[in-house]
Amino acid sequence: MESSVSVTYVESAAMSQRKKTVIDILRDSDDFVSGEAISDVLGISRNAVHKHVKSLRKRGYRIVGVSRRGYRLEDEPSRLSMGHVTQRTENTMFGHSFRYHDEIESTNLEAKSLAMKGAPEGTVVVAEAQSAGRGRLGRRWTSPAGKGLLFSVILRPSLPMSEAHLLTIVAATAAADAIEKHVPARVAIKWPNDLFIGDRKVGGILMEVSGEQDEVDWIVLGIGLNVNTEFSELPVALRRTATSLKMVGGELVDRSDVLASLLLSLEVNYHAALRGGFEKALTAFRERDYLLSRTISVETRQGPVIGAAAGIDDRGALLVELPHRRVRSFHSGDVSVRH
């Protein structure tokens, strides 16, 4: 069958020809290259060279700088092989149109802007690094360049707005299935859509929905997964609570292969849910429910509600058993486990 796949490599305005030249100069030399030599070639100030070096470091280039000697390139970031991804996702909905960024503010933001301009369902925005990755509840998502997976897909399901949130259950269970193909561990889901291995978070999902008159117009489903992140690369505040596939399995994991598995799994589960309803995803979630039977605290506007997690109902709401066997359901919220 003829297939037309489009992969657009989007050069962020910042990854200018100048930065590429800085990399080329450093690659060509085994030794240090002085800031002055680089500034002469580029015709810019040494301060400007330093700024380029700083921004390249953010993109995962390991460049050491020693005063009076200059800069030396020690390591380059690994990049996704979009060729591998498109080969594995050939003829699928999440395999026809990719927009690849070395660095972007947030793939969700970009996917939302594309969706508003009418980008088709299945468009995938993927980045090696985000300067302002977004998490749930206004939090940040951070990941060192070239170490994790950061991507967003555009969906245009024919669904009432009131059911859209159930797609996060579909996405989380699909992602858990895919991840288990690449790491010898069980993936659990902490309601509503945190991906856990053991007691640590390995990934998260951020779904943003737009619609009118109770009909979904578009959904952007963003997934962040720690793949080859080392313990030392985790923000200090997350070192007790986060993990990566590499930290769990002890070996580097092929990010392109994981991305392809995630997209294929999302596709199968998404279509199954739209055709056959959400029952299968709800059952899959219940088998992976990280919170079940634990004592938890749910933050509400009136303060924390503490009780025993009692699963989810058929609308995907979290059930919490309170004293005297009273059960309360929550449709959104921040949940923590009480130890």
76 close to 176: Cβ distance less than 8 angstroms = no
CB under 6 A: which stretch of 24-32, 181-189, 216-224, 316-324 binds ligand BTN?
Answer: 216-224
| 333 forms part of the interface with ligand BTN (CB under 6 A) | no
For residue 328, what is the DSSP state?
Answer: E
Cβ closest to ligand BTN, residue 88 vs residue 136: 136
Task: Report in angstroms the alpha-carbon separations of 263 from 86, 114, 201, 227.
Answer: 10, 19, 20, 15
- Please tell me the distance from the alpha carbon of residue 29 to that of residue 46, in angstroms, as a whole number: 19
Per-residue binder mask for ligand BTN (CB under 6 A), 120-139, x = binder: ----------x--xxxx--x
Cβ closest to ligand BTN, residue 205 vs residue 263: 205
Closest distance of CB 219 from ligand BTN, Å: 13
- Please tell me the distance from the alpha carbon of residue 312 to that of residue 253, in angstroms, as a whole number: 33
- Judged by CB under 6 A, the residue of 102, 103, 194, 267 near ligand BTN is 194
164 close to 332: Cβ distance less than 8 angstroms = no
The interface with ligand BTN within residues 51-110 (CB under 6 A) comprises: 106-108
| 18 forms part of the interface with ligand BTN (CB under 6 A) | no
| 243 forms part of the interface with ligand BTN (CB under 6 A) | no
| 311 forms part of the interface with ligand BTN (CB under 6 A) | no
Task: Report in angstroms the alpha-carbon separations of 298 from 285, 289, 302, 303.
Answer: 19, 16, 10, 8
Amino acid at 18: R
Using CB under 6 A, list all residues that contact ligand BTN: 106-108, 130, 133-136, 139, 141, 150-152, 194, 204-206, 222-224
